[in-house]
Structure 1
Amino acid sequence: MQKTILGIFLLFLTAQFTFAQDVQQKKEIIELSKTKWLWMENKEADKLAELFDDKSVFVHMGGSWGKEREVNIIRSGGIWYKKADIHEVSVEIIDNTAILLNRITLLAEVGGNEVTNPFEVTEVYIKKADGWKLGSLSFTKLMGPADR
């Protein structure tokens, strides 16, 4: 009987620890995403280059490309992410992968023209030995306001 009670107690503690760890990882990813938006706003291409995995992919309304082109576009000002107003955030953790969804209104300058668009942004992060790396950033334009 004591072994059964001890086993249930240990199972409960393990579940509590796993839940707390999951909550902490989700908070960490949300903060990393917010920091990424600030780096994009401030055109901090070198910090972004460290965050982006070498095999990362980026999907925009005008096409898709890899890390080098994304960093160069940000560095040159080809796309200037001036302000991302974040309306909703959710994160799911699957093993060493985090999938973050942001519902945003993005104020950007693209090719010298200022534009505002509502997007659902999908960010995929992979946990590596040296921390979380962004593996994918994908913009899906919404048909209505982003804050619905």
Structure 2
Amino acid sequence: MKKSILALFAVIMVFSSFAEARIIMYANGDYNYPIWASGNRGGSTLDLRTAMIMPDTGNGQYLETCANNYFLWYDKGDGKTYENGTLQKDKYIYFREYNDGSGLYYVVAEVPWDALPWKKINPDDYFDYGINDAYYLLKCRVEKKQ
């Protein structure tokens, strides 16, 4: 009995070490500014209040959304749920979610030209899960506006 309990405990510990709590962090504790990229001294956040669906794009092949993008220069924070700092307006962040399931892409730019280097988001990648989660917050916001 002890061996089976120990084996079960070992299996739970192994699987729990692979599970990572994915928490969306917010700039200055404001739920309108999810942080989608983070570094030691700053990160990037988007403004959900400015989220919108781009009109007449993609000919029905994809949904294109947009929001203001900001640099967040960290002052302090708990590193788990929020980071305090100064927001500095950057360009816009554009997302394209293809209807055929071929993926979700983003670019930070003034205008969403096709010639720009659109980056594909891999939601399972450690560096992409923040932007993936921020996109779905943005998508929910624009769908509620309609």
Q: TM (normalized to structure 2)?
A: 0.31
The structure in which a higher percent of residues are strand is 1
More helix by share: 1
